[in-house]
Chain A
């Protein structure tokens, strides 16, 4: 049927389809885990079953709509099985539960493959498995069928104007006459405003529903029937009552109460949000401009007027911040969404490896940018897999080591200032650093005190192709895992760090910027030029007396808080003139033994800046992360502290 619709029109539905199916698969995964406790029991909690049934029903419907037959077929069989469970004709046995899990996974793969334009995986095994367990089929059209509560995207529910509901069923006859969804859409646009268009499934046939607001009378619209459209006035709240489409005699049991809960959410295109964010960014710049202008007026106006203006300005600043946070919040989703998915992975893997693993989730309500969520899935997946297949020991080994028989994997998330920190830890055997050191004799893995150099270790295990396993197992790839993790996190402007203790476990810490668009930056000057540095990268701002600087070979160092702090002069890195006299200032970046002081001439202050990326290849310079402008039209470069250090190191 796809060929009858225009590509664009269809693609819109495809995007909706993927989003929709993802939502339902998430529900399915959750509910499946919830019903696991009922395996082998006489009956299963009906709320869970109902939800599962509905989700598969919807998956079936929407898959049919996009012509993804294998998904439709599989979802249908799973729906039938759940129907049988619900009616109490069969009970939930372990093999039935397995079949549900297996079927869900296959369904996921089919939809994923379709999305990536890959060849579709075979569904036969899953499909036959679930069918064999369902038992005798009930008569079709029994009360087990729920009514179609198809996804709709509401754009408004104006009840004052006359709304018409049109249904178009594409068919060969119409196609031959040159009538397709697009032409129908066009002609409907002529008579009024289309406020909603929804694909429908009616008895396996695709139909398109259009809700149109129009002044036209019923007789005006009659002509449209020739082009295969059926229509009638829209009657809320039960538009189902007037389904004129052929074969629409499906009995319905009301399930509207639960599905209507979803309509409290609006799905928004990220592009639109970005646009909104851009407007807010412009406002921030205007605000900075206003402030500069205000300052120049001091003295030329009365104190009273000055105070009044200052007050308004301060209020404006606060409101702008609120607006900024508000817009940013729209993009934020709880990280729990991906953490919950990990439950599924953990369950699978613990089965596969025969290890008992308990997953502990903390901070699931930590909100992160939607953009990050999608890109965090793979790295997290790799880390969780690694934890179970490499980290957690078998039961015997754990008991021998005096540990609890069940392994623990912990996922934690929290926000700290401008960053979100995600930790994946296990209480397994820890990374065998000695073995890695033995395999890489040329690398200095341990420092003089015999302490493991964690960043160095991380670097080694993140090398493409690295694997501690001689045998490749299914669970955790072929040593590509950490490589992927490192790359994905770097692309998100984040960092990965590692802590591991032999026999006690391993912890990976991912640090990501909450958002990149607007940030607090420290402004400094070097050699007469202004620069900005993200405040989140700076641990401390310190004053340095030039007399206290010691020279060690080619390095300048100072003693600070009883630690040796190496100095990197930005004037050196940039080839600017060195400040000859007076107090120097430095930003302490990096932590622990890697702390370094970036020396500047002067610190000018802390400002909220809009980060603008420098995309032109002419500006692809190491150490420069972007640019900003403080409201006076003069660009200021934003430095990447870590990159500056590496530039300095290679000089």
Chain B
């Protein structure tokens, strides 16, 4: 059975699931389909544990993040009945398009987007863009990819099926933009050279308003409830908070030098801000705008000046934060405290229970990252080695590295 057929099967699953509660039908669980996948093992035998080198080789080989059979040590037998069922599905759904998680990497230097098929773990399409693509945003349905083209002074809106540009937002030197989801509007753009946030309706591509910021606004995030916008100003060291409703500047929190990125916890109660030169992550309470804690990083054998945190991604359960450390070539895994600790934090106590747990070795100079929608994998865009690393979240191992274009800046993953 080739990958194309598998992909169709998976599409069929999601169609079927639209009837009932998503993910509640065990038969249609992703792991069930994994049993249909071709594997290197003899079927109907549980896999014998491999020597370490073997495991390493296997992990480097392309495989789909969703294929859990081998990695979970599950039973890989294909039963006759399942096969028949699968064939029926194929017949029923043969018109459905191929459907895998797709990842998009913006290649700052060669002005392209690399489209990665996460089934194949390789680039399946390279889309030419305007000049210097960096920040990207994806609509919640995954159908539109917005690409900031810093040197072309616009944001192009790509259709992720046809890769045609279906709209453009003309705005000077956009570095990064964040969408207010799930409405997909408005779009908050960091206009780095103009010390401005511009706010856009992406349907009409009209500017709604602009808000002045510090020098070189970059990181931008919208709170999960859509009410709070945070921006980081690289050169003047602030995390700036704005209200969605009134546009009011609510607070300006000084953080260590060169803040690059901001990420809300999924409960919306904290913002984590990375400081590239300060080598730290600042945790800010979103109600009081007080600094709850500053997390520093230290990697043995590495000078502190080379530890430059940029991208932050927090798991959906708010348990782990992944922090890309740039020239340290590592991603730090930081534990995010549970809800009971949050109340403790609100007192402004400095013994905040966030500890660096582990460092992962990835490609060179990882800046930005993205989870697969199932949360099982984390992709990092490695600007100096021109590739994307795939980290398996369950055991914190780098399982694959995919060559992309020159100087990948950011990576996003499609929602389906």
Judge: A and B partners, yes or no: no
